[in-house]
Amino acid sequence: MAGLDWKILLLAHLSATGIFLLLNFRGKTRLRAFTEAAIVFCVPVAGLLILCLFKVCGTVLRLWDIQEPEEEGEGEAFFLGPPVQRDVVPLNDAFLVEDKQQKRHFFTESIKQALVENQQILRMAMHDKDREIAYYAVSMLTSRMEKMEAELFDRESRVLKGEQQEDLPLLQEYAELLKEYMGNKSFIDHVSWRKKQEIYVAILDRLTKLTGENKAYFQEEVHQLLQLPDYPGAEQVCRDFQQRYPQAEEPYLSFIALYVAWKKPEKLQECLRGLKALPIELSPEALRVIRFWDKGAAKVG
């Protein structure tokens, strides 16, 4: 009879320890939960009473409002300096967070609040391993493309049909829209993209004639013609560029890009000599190009 009582007490003690472990597991690390359960098991009755009393007192006195170091989530060291709110983490940095739930929270909340407008960030997110983030990015890029197509149609109806052809701000806005639209080449079929590129080149050509400070438009037009490729057309634009700015380095740099793509080394060297002979202080970019091709010519020689 005494042996049976001992077994009943041991079973009750084991059951009480198991129940305590299950109830105590929430909000605790595994090490802490099992340590407290070990105390309850090794100190029968008294251990359970002491820990229960301790927890009741802690709840009444609100001791748990103080965050303990062991309860800090993993990954908090990623944010250095003062505590940063989750909603204000730079979105570029959010892609470095390894925790999928946190990264998804940053991105999807930004999507819902219409904070993500940067095309580069969206294209980067489109290739993220997290399918939900990639889905949101593709959805937003698709939505942005539809909006741009509507805006482009509106500008085309006013520009290409002959209305307000000399409206410089309208043409500049149209060119910026076309550039942004064409930057998302993966969302555009080949025929539509090529048609938009031809329109873009025509608008750039018009802007080079209408604007006073138009170096960027010349350079962009040459860049687009090299992509087509239309080397004779690009050469003519470079000549117009040089005629407009005979003492500037930018036309020479456009000529060099053209003759590299066109594979005309003699004309390339002629442009390099002209660039070196300019009576101006060359930019770091121009000096880098000269050093690069001088080194290449020395190797060939």
Cα–Cα distance between 165 and 167 in angstroms, integer?
6
How many domains are contained in the chain?
A: 1
Place of tokens 């060939």: 300
The pTM for the full model equals: 0.56
In 3-state terms the chain splits into helix, strand, coil percentages (rounded to 5) of 75, 0, 25
Range of the domain at 36: 2-71
Backbone angles phi, psi at 5, to 5 degrees: -65, -40
DSSP letter for each residue of 34-62: HHHHHHHHHSTTHHHHHHHHHHHHHHHTT
Cα–Cα distance between 29 and 204 in angstroms, integer?
63
7 in a structural domain: yes
Closest to 92 (Cα-Cα) out of 112, 122, 113, 114? 122
Whether the CB-CB separation of 208 and 217 falls below 8 Å is answered with yes
24 in a structural domain: yes
298 in a structural domain: no
The pLDDT value recorded for residue 261 is 95
The pLDDT value recorded for residue 226 is 95
The pLDDT value recorded for residue 239 is 96
Question: pLDDT tens digit string along 52-83?
Answer: 777 777 666 665 544 444 444 444 433 333 44
H-type helices in 43-117, by residue range? Answer: 46-60, 91-94, 100-112
Amino acid at 287: L
123 in a structural domain: no
Question: What are the distances in angstroms from CA 215 to CA 81, 208, 211, 227?
Answer: 44, 8, 9, 19
229 in a structural domain: no
The pLDDT value recorded for residue 273 is 94
The pLDDT value recorded for residue 236 is 96
CA angle at residue 47 from 42 to 49, to 5 degrees?
155
50 in a structural domain: yes
The pLDDT value recorded for residue 301 is 40
42 in a structural domain: yes
250 in a structural domain: no
Report the half-sphere exposure of 229 (CA within 13 A, side-chain side): 11
| Weakly modelled stretches of the chain, pLDDT under 50 | 65-89, 113-116, 298-301
